[in-house]
C-alpha cells in the first residue's frame, strides 16, 4: 500500500509544485537541493530566537519546505528509524550552505528576517542552528498534524512528534553556513 501511495505522490508532487509559489534552491550545477522555498509574512506570535532576533507578526521570512518525495524515495528501503533520522539530518546539513547563499543573494535580503519551516521531524534541528517553537494556535497545530499524516504514514516511523515551527535568523544562517557554500544558488 505504501509503495502505491509513494507512486501517487511522485505523480502528484509536480502538479502541487506548479500551483504553489515554491521555488527550488539549486546548487551550482542547477540540481535542486532538498529545499523548496518562498517568501512569506509570519502570522504567529512574536518570538525571541536564541541569538536575540525577535520575529514579529508580518516580518518577512523565507519559508522552507523539505522536498518530502525526494526524501522518501531515497529512504524507501531504510527500515531503521535511527538510520532514517541520521540520513535526513545529513541531507539537510548538506543543503544548508546552498540555502544560506540563496538568502544572502536574495534581492530582498535586507528585508528578510530569517527562515521558517514547520515539521514533525525536529529531532536534531537545534544542532543545525534552528530554534524549535511550539505552534500555539491549537486549530492550526491540528491542521498541520493532519497534513503531515500522509508523509508520516509512508515513512512508517515512530520519530514523528507534534509539529513545531523551526526558525533561524538570517544572521545566524549566514554566519553558520555561508562560508561553507561551494556553489551559488539559482532559482527555478
pTM above 0.85, yes or no: no
**Total structural domains within the chain:** 1
Running DSSP on this structure, what letter comes out for residue 44? S
Lowest-confidence pick of 22-31, 59-68, 87-96, 175-184: 175-184
Domain that holds residue 104: 2-187
pLDDT of residue 123: 77
- C-alpha triplet 41, 43, 46: angle, nearest 5°: 110
Give CA separation, 28 vs 58, 70, 92, 182, in Å.
32, 19, 17, 8
Range 96-119 average pLDDT: 95
Interatomic CA distance for residues 1 and 19, integer angstroms: 27
Amino acid at each position: 500500500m505504501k509503495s502505491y501511495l509513494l507512486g501517487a505522490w511522485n505523480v502528484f508532487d509536480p502538479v502541487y509544485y506548479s500551483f504553489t509559489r515554491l521555488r527550488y534552491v539549486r546548487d551550482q550545477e542547477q540540481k535542486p537541493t532538498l529545499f523548496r522555498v518562498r517568501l512569506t509574512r509570519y502570522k504567529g506570535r512574536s518570538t525571541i530566537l536564541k541569538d536575540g532576533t525577535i520575529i514579529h507578526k508580518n516580518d518577512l521570512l523565507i519559508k522552507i519546505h523539505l522536498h518530502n518525495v525526494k526524501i522518501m524515495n531515497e529512504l524507501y528501503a531504510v527500515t531503521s528509524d535511527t538510520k532514517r533520522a541520521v540520513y535526513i539530518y545529513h541531507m539537510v546539513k548538506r543543503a544548508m550552505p546552498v540555502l544560506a547563499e540563496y538568502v544572502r543573494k536574495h534581492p530582498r535580503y535586507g528585508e528578510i528576517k530569517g527562515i521558517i519551516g514547520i515539521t514533525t521531524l525536529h529531532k536534531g534541528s537545534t544542532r543545525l542552528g534552528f530554534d524549535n517553537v511550539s505552534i500555539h494556535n491549537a486549530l492550526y497545530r491540528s491542521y498541520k498534524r493532519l497534513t503531515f499524516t500522509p508523509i508520516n504514514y509512508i515513512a512508517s516511523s515512530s520519530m514523528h512528534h507534534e509539529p513545531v515551527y523551526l526558525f533561524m535568523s538570517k544572521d545566524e544562517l549566514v554566519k553558520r553556513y555561508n562560508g561553507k557554500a561551494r556553489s551559488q544558488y539559482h532559482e527555478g
